[in-house]
A and B are shown apart, each in its own frame.
Chain A
Amino acid sequence: NAGVMQNPRHLVRRRGQEARLRCSPMKGHSHVYWYRQLPEEGLKFMVYLQKENIIDESGMPKERFSAEFPKEGPSILRIQQVVRGDSAAYFCASRRDGYNEQFFGPGTRLTVL
């Protein structure tokens, strides 16, 4: 059973470009979470999604950031018009319905030049 997969692992963007981060949860997992982590800092919750629904997006900036988890395919975290402050590691985690344990992906390291 493959773990949570994220791609790309590293992403470099220039200011003003768009960044698309993908997350494929573990098989059978219908809950997906996105977190942001700056160097030497903790995990900052961004958004919690279930298939086709956003459950909690209270940690996500209202502008430029959006997330989706379609019926088919991976969850996508989209950052429009990136700025240098968006540089961070973005982790996705998934869990099975009825279980609390979250399984994390390897993360996408975003660098904005």
Chain B
Amino acid sequence: GQQVMQIPQYQHVQEGEDFTTYCNSSTTLSNIQWYKQRPGGHPVFLIQLVKSGEVKKQKRLTFQFGEAKKNSSLHITATQTTDVGTYFCAGDPQDRSTLGRLYFGRGTQLTVWP
């Protein structure tokens, strides 16, 4: 069945260091989305990637979608304490038999030490 794997599960960095989380799907995706959940909060949509090889930037955040549309990454440059939270990827399979459901990765919990 459809699976989305995300690594690492935890990442602790010093403020100013970079951070990357990786997402891999067992099947080809139509698109992939990224969400952020602050401690005690709810997931908030960050971005959606649709095209093969697509790269999108949001200030210090860079999102990539693999050429085969089966993997993705989120890279944060020079982390800040406001980046603390759990980052989830969510894949929308190309096979439409899944009827609009997203498959979430387990998430990467980022801790930033000041």
Residue ranges of A at the interface with B (Cβ–Cβ < 8 Å): 31, 33, 35, 40-43, 45, 48, 55-56, 91, 93, 100-107
Contacts and interface: CB of A to CB of B under 8 A. Distances in A.
Given A40-B109, A41-B106, A42-B88, A100 B101 contact: no
Interface string B88-111: 101010000011111111110100
B48 A100 contact: yes
A45 B1 CA distance: 14
Given A43-B43, A43-B104, A104-B43, 10 more contacts: A41-B106, A42-B106, A43-B88, A45-B102, A48-B101, A100-B48, A101-B45, A102-B90, A103-B45, A104-B35
Given A45-B101, A48-B99, A48-B100, A101 B48 contact: yes
B93 to A, nearest CB: 12
Contacts of B99: 48, 55-56
Contacts of A93: 43
A39 to B, nearest CB: 11
Chain B interface size range: 20 to 34
A100 B92 contact: yes
Nearest to A47: B101
Contact of A42 (B41, B98, B100, B107): B107
A56 B101 contact: yes
Interface of B: 31, 33, 35, 41-45, 48, 88, 90, 92, 98-107, 109
Contact of A100 (B33, B41, B105, B109): B33
Nearest to B99: A55
B11 to A, nearest CB: 14
Given A40-B109, A42-B105, A100-B31, A31 B88 contact: no
A101 to B, nearest CB: 5
Nearest to A50: B100
Contacts of B48: 100-101
B22 to A, nearest CB: 15
